Amino acid sequence: MRNYGADSLCADRSFPSLITCNLTKLESAVDQMRKAYPKVLAADAALVASALSLTGRHAKAVYEGEYFVWPDDNQKLMESMSAHLHSVNEAIEENAPKKLSKAAQAAAPEEEPVMVNIGLAPNIGAGEAILANREDLKTMLSDVLQGGVEFLYGTQDIGWQWALDRANWNTISAGELSRRIKIKANFTEGAVGVEQGTTVKKTRGKKGEE
């Protein structure tokens, strides 16, 4: 059994199977940690909850098998996506209807967005950074992620989604992109992600890499 500080846990304490971490309400994540680890000091539970929140807020982007750190790899990721976005844009243009009159445009149904998905994986390094030399709490953080985490978040809570929404794709891709193209970052590795205000639950994949 791992030991998180002196006398913090009983020897027969089992790891929780799933912890919900609300990135919008840190106090909720703290409550979850205290319920899951009642023997841990309140201050330590709060510190691990903060670290866990950072692993979600600073989640790594996963694109074509490569991991990208926010915000350091902003340009690298967006340049890597450029060719794919060009292909998507060309497909939209090829299938676009012929130019319609204003009356026909008003009567025509609104075109659905074309989604381009980016994977996300918890950034363990970002969480460990605030734990400094507390190796016991780093071990606890690792166990929490291994046991299972469900991140609840709003559209502004994930660093990569914030960056992707504000990128000047016309400049990055050296050409005008259709407004129908929408880029969405979803948790695909190491955690479950649920965007608040939606009903679609993202699937947990393999454990995220550091």
Higher pLDDT, 170 or 68: 68
Q: What is the pLDDT at residue 106?
A: 53
Mean pLDDT on 25-31: 94
Higher pLDDT, 201 or 134: 134
Q: What is the pLDDT at residue 13?
A: 44
Mean pLDDT on 36-57: 96
Higher pLDDT, 174 or 201: 174
Q: What is the pLDDT of residues 50-61, one digit of tens each?
A: 999 999 999 999
Q: What is the pLDDT at residue 197?
A: 78
What is the rounded average pLDDT for all residues in the chain?
Answer: 86
Higher pLDDT, 176 or 106: 176
Angle at 185 between CA 195 and CA 84, to 5 degrees: 150
Per-residue pLDDT at 198 exceeds 80:
no
